[in-house]
Amino acid sequence: MGNKKKSRRYFLKTLGAVTGAAFLGLWGLMTGDLQKNKRKKTISIPLDDNRAVLFSEDCIVINSGQPKVFSSYCTHLGCRIKTLEDSKLVCPCHGSMFDLNGNPLKGPAVKPLEKLEFTINKNSNIMTIKI
């Protein structure tokens, strides 16, 4: 009788581990595909010299000194960042914080924000960003 209990417990633990690993693998594939599919457009926004940080749907423009553009999606779980507090970019979902260079200051995010390519038309002061 003791072996049946041990064998059942082993089976349930193994089943749970395999199910969890399969779920995590599928989750990674799904979120990776979503991120790849999003990077197929360009947007143009007017560059406002009066604002140091501009939030757009898919990006954050840091306009202090040399302009920088980052994805507005947190590297933790992909929540959209749209808040600046004390010169820090704050994720609304789990409280991750990033500096104005896109580097994580507070977790759970550990990766920096994705840098995006952009060009600036000096005549019209329009920034074109590859998303």
State whether CATH 4.10.640.10 applies to domain 42-130.
no
**Cβ burial 5-19 (10 Å sphere, 16+ → b, else e):** eeeeeeeeeeeeeee
Residue 3: the pLDDT is: 60
Residue 101: the pLDDT is: 94
Give this prediction's pTM: 0.67
Residue 3 dihedral angles phi and psi, to the nearest 5°: -70, -35
Residue 8: the pLDDT is: 82
In this prediction, the residues of the chain whose per-residue pLDDT falls under 50 are: none
Residue 125: the pLDDT is: 84
- Interatomic CA distance for residues 116 and 5, integer angstroms: 56
- Interatomic CA distance for residues 111 and 89, integer angstroms: 14
Show Cβ contacts of residue 54 under 8 Å, excluding neighbours closer than 6 positions.
45, 47, 48, 60, 61, 63
Other Cβ atoms closer than 10 A to 81: 24
Residue 35: the pLDDT is: 55
* β partners of residue 54: 61
Other Cβ atoms closer than 10 A to 118: 20
